[in-house]
Structure 1
């Protein structure tokens, strides 16, 4: 009943729009910013005003204007996104992965790079992506499994990298506090674009409060990351993109004893080497599009045995693994009834594998094959009213239990006038358990298959209604949604009492509203803001009680200025009404406030200053569980030279 009341309220809200001009801006750059084209939402190119779902499109300039140094942090400034990180900038803590979540559903976001999925083993880490090489990001909130399959329960994010269409070569160097330094080199012509970057970061002595149960706090050691990308335009139809990253990181659990010998003996060190490869071959001609993709991750970690005072030997981490995904997707678009209607149909095939590479889990090998057919038909009922019906049938050959999944979707869009539209979006989504979820450690320290044969996919429905309004120099977007999912994955105790067995637990539900506003004040100033209020709750499968799953309130805002050779801006993201962590404390408000200023020295060179976490807060970048902190106030100065 609450959900219905919210939906009825939203219908009334769509009739109450701010008074303004009804004509769209004639400035092409302004018009694109306020009403950008999106490909991800419908798998065909459409203006946002004509797209029946909640979407946000960020250009390279808008991403850099957040003042963030990583793709992960830049995404946190998008309304509806609440990230979860174990290390600053989205750094992964070995197999404890940072992740991007949409609308409060844990591990419910599918991330694409150039249209190809990069989620591996149920995780969507974007660590290793170079922010400078990102051309555009499209965020689609709400049901997306019909067009994209599993893991798109809360939505999908498509990251498009820069293509080989610029003849300029670029070199960047930067340095800052906390040991931050690095370089970035790009060589490009009309056919090939190659980028190489290397980042370094120093030690941070404390990135968590003192753990009350074990008398230690977490420290972050030195780290580095090498990124390589190549984009090759083979001909008018074929394009090839390849990315590789390799990072080295260290963490400590620093003992707090007053005795220096005990501190030294009981301070374990964890060192990780993380290699990732992503490759995608794209075919695009007329109305036929196809991709062949390959992703892998090779995680190798070592732990210092702090119990041996005289011999600080390292041994393999039990969570070392190799995960791979290979597949293809082909679609065709048909234009029917004199181009009034559109039908998109296609097929997708993929194989996922997981292999343990440590002594403890070396016998763990799991694979999953997926075959899917999907279609989406947009029918124009009248010049103002369009309805879209879609469906997906997916066959999954799974090591635990084979699945046959049917995902329907129904959307409508009504144009009140040339600058205002109302839409509805109803769809079913699902996700499968991670391949590693079917394994657990037994009393002998070996990993064995333990998940029950009745393990089901998480699945449920998204309901959404929204308003989009474009003025002369501003835009307004409002979305009201309700989500309800069953069979959420949970952990049950094994024969040792540890929660290592994957089962289906309780339910998840969330009802909320999102509002985004952007305005071009004049040719020099732009600003925008967004707010999300929701109540994401997850049911405890043992007690049956409903508990808060993610923060209730998120707000963000930005302001940018450009004038001749100078440009600058500031962005802020605020999370409140957060969860209680394991230490019995409620996570404090997260206030991430960044700023930047840039000066064009010559037409081929510029210098830029970025400052992150201006307030120097102990921002808690996890939600619930243990606390992990972001970087303290940090700055970096970047010099760019092109030729």
Structure 2
């Protein structure tokens, strides 16, 4: 594996060399002539109510991030930018948010692991419960809206924790950029708009990274036993990722968009200790993942009528070579390596249509959604036969919302959704009615109070019901998870501050979970209850003189009710983290832009029945740019400023942050 000591030292010198004079310049007061940035304390949101409303007039906890704010974190992908968001826990099993096959990085909203629904321009992105936000480059994003709290009423299954709506650029910028850094990182982008046609193309690369995880074994046997599996850790081969998106706007009513991307990476599983004749550093197995995705949308909008026909597909080819394995209850080196080849293909085709009407002071919205979900998988071990599986089901929904104005300062909003499925294998169909009631009280022009109560619903995936071709075993008796959500909040804007306060409580029955069974070396699907109560307080500040700051604090107590392998109760177990702090500081003038962003998660517990604490996690990012001319700029981004080795996972296995990583780049407008 490559050693990166000299590159890290170079990164440190460049970062200090560029950041230090900038900081001195700012502190010296040489920016008195700086231009004021537009700073919207009350942004327009389109996700929470499915039509445009101001944040202050929306009864939900909302965060809106423009591309400028997302880029200020120093991130290049959506997953890396959102890890700094309030009320969100970042969970990763690969460096810089990279997926390890089906073990993908997660954005966990309010402690609900399997409850984040991701939308791309209002269309569900989730496939088989996964959304791979590392595949979406920030260069193609206009803004992101994050709605915290159960949102199954208006958006259906999977929105039990919250909704993330990624809104892409309707018109692309005419620009080209390139950046390189240590750890073999590269990020290149070209974007252009020519009349009705716009395109964005990105390349992202990462080099080899050693020891991305700690040594761990699931074996409960004595270390001297022949069945004992030594502790093992992962090395990362690096990643090559490409993303192409384009949009054609026919007229004011119709447009078509298509996104295509590929990703290729390999993970090496090595022995961390000497046992059963295995030596430290020797290779236990190697797994390669080659992924391709396609997303298409045909959109129609006229007045208050919206319609979208969409297609979403992801295909992953995986190849695993095992050099050591347990044979006849003995862990040993294989005479001939065992090779497993497999392919997973997820596909969704759907149609969503909605219309809204203004009824004097009231608003009525009605919509329908029909979706065909498909999953095909096959796997072959060595020269054996292919184990193939194919599943389909139809998902239908009718949803509505009525916003009634009680008086000049109060609104009550009633929403409901009926969801049902059909055509599933073995008649594994579901039906659920989910209502929601919201109340909004305006306390003057700049303050509002809200309260809401609603239900959420999430169906099991095909793998959770039927199992996969590998070690994941299905459970035909697994139940859908159903939640009850309650929240009150206060929002207040002043000339320079935007204050947001939310207090929430939820209980989710039969949350769908996966547990490892050592005796069979399989992962089994189960149901368990979860609950959480918490408070979130944040403030965005326009400090003037080109300065903007923000801070947030979240305190909650996520818990799950667990049973052992025999079904006996083990009681409530706390997991994830209790305390989260977020903050950022931004400065802009005619030539310079500088930003520092951080998030801190403390009082952490593992997401396992045995529990165990995890040290606090501090994630930091910085971005500095200098405009050479009206159409040219140079920039420096730094991730993990303090070069910390934080644990980014919450399971028994420990995955680590990448060390301090910088990229130095150049951007030119065309």
User: Is the structural similarity TM-score above 0.5?
Assistant: yes
Cα pair 1:302 1:314 within 8 Å, conserved:
no
Match of 1:42 in 2: 49
Give yes or no for the alignment of 1:185 onto 2:190. yes
Q: Structure 1 residues 599 and 266, CA, compared in 2 at 3 Å: closer, same or farther?
A: closer
**Equivalent residue for 2:104?**
97
SS at match of 2:131: coil
Matched, 1:596 2:623: yes
Q: Residue 7 of structure 1 aligns with which residue?
A: none
Shift of 1:595: 1.1
Counterparts of 1:101 and 1:378, CA distance in 2: 30
Which residue of 315, 325, 330 maps to 2:339?
Answer: 315
Aligned to 2:12: none
Q: Secondary structure at the match of 2:487?
A: strand
Q: After superposition, where does 1:342-361 map in structure 2 within 5 Å?
A: 342-359=363-380
Normalized against structure 1, the TM-score is what? 0.90
More strand by share: 2
Deviation at 1:544? 4.0
Shift of the 495–154 alpha-carbon distance from structure 1 to 2, 3 Å rule, reads closer
Go from structure 1 to structure 2 and tell me whether the alpha carbon gap of 1:311 and 1:199 turns closer, same or farther (over 3 Å shift). Answer: farther
Match 1:406 to one of 428, 433, 437: 433
Q: Check if 1:451 corresponds to 2:507.
A: no
**Hey, what's the Cα distance between the residues in 2 that align with 1:495 and 1:518?**
49
1:226-265 alignment, distance < 5 Å: 226-256=242-272, 262=279
Residue pair 1:175, 1:181 contacting (<8 A) in 2 also: yes
Q: Structure 1 residues 149 and 50 mapped into 2: Cα distance closer, same or farther (>3 Å)? A: same
Q: Deviations over 1:582-622 (max 9, x none)?
A: 79752211101111110001111100000100111111111
Residue number in structure 1 paired with 2:159: 152
Residue in 2 aligned with 1:425? Answer: 452
2:658 counterpart SS class? coil
Residue 284 of structure 2 aligns to a residue in which SS?
coil
Q: Is the 8 A contact 1:494 1:501 kept in 2?
A: yes
For 1:433-444, what aligned pairs fall within 5 Å after superposition?
433-440=460-467
Can you give the 5+ residue segments of structure 2 that lack an aligned partner in the other structure?
1-34, 220-229, 326-332
Deviation at 1:437, TM superposition (A): 1.2
Change over 3 Å in CA distance of 1:335–1:584 after alignment to 2: closer
Going from structure 1 to structure 2, the CA distance change for 1:446 and 1:476 (only over 3 Å counts) comes to: closer
TM-score (norm 2): 0.86
* 2:421 pairs with 1:396: yes
| Counterpart-to-counterpart distance in 1, 2:209 and 2:483 | 42
Structure 1: 5+ residue stretches without partners: 1-26
Paired residues, number: 606
1:560 & 1:28 partners in 2: Cα distance? 12
Quick one: which of 131, 134, 153 aligns to 1:127? 134
State the superposition RMSD in angstroms.
2.5
Deviation at residue 625 of structure 1 after TM alignment = 2.5
Q: 1:428 to 1:257 in 2, by over 3 A?
A: closer
Pair 449,545 (structure 1): closer, same or farther in 2 beyond 3 Å: closer
CA shift for structure 1 position 266: 3.7
Provide the C-alpha distance between the structure 2 equivalents of 1:539 and 1:129, rounded to a whole number of angstroms.
Answer: 35
Aligned to 1:506: 528
Indicate if the aligned counterparts of 1:439 and 1:448 stay in contact, CA closer than 8 A.
no
SS in 2 for 1:42: coil
Cα distance between partner residues in 2 of 1:537 and 1:313? 42
Instruction: Measure the CA separation in 1 of the matches of 2:463 and 2:144.
Output: 30
1:278-313 superposed Cα distances (whole Å, 9 cap, x missing partner): 111111110000111111111111122325999986
Note if 1:578 corresponds to 2:572.
Answer: no
Partners of 2:159 and 2:278 lie apart in 1 by 50
Report deviation, 1:394.
Answer: 0.9
Q: CA deviation at 1:499?
A: 5.0
Partner Cα distance (1:446, 1:35) in 2: 49
Task: State whether structure 2 residue 75 is matched by structure 1 residue 68.
Answer: yes
Residue 474 of structure 1: CA displacement? Answer: 1.0
Alignment of 1:2-13 (within 5 A): none
CA contact (8 A) 2:215 2:232 kept: yes
1:256 to partner: Cα distance = 3.4
Q: Does residue 616 in structure 1 map to residue 643 in structure 2?
A: yes
1:276 to partner: Cα distance:
1.2
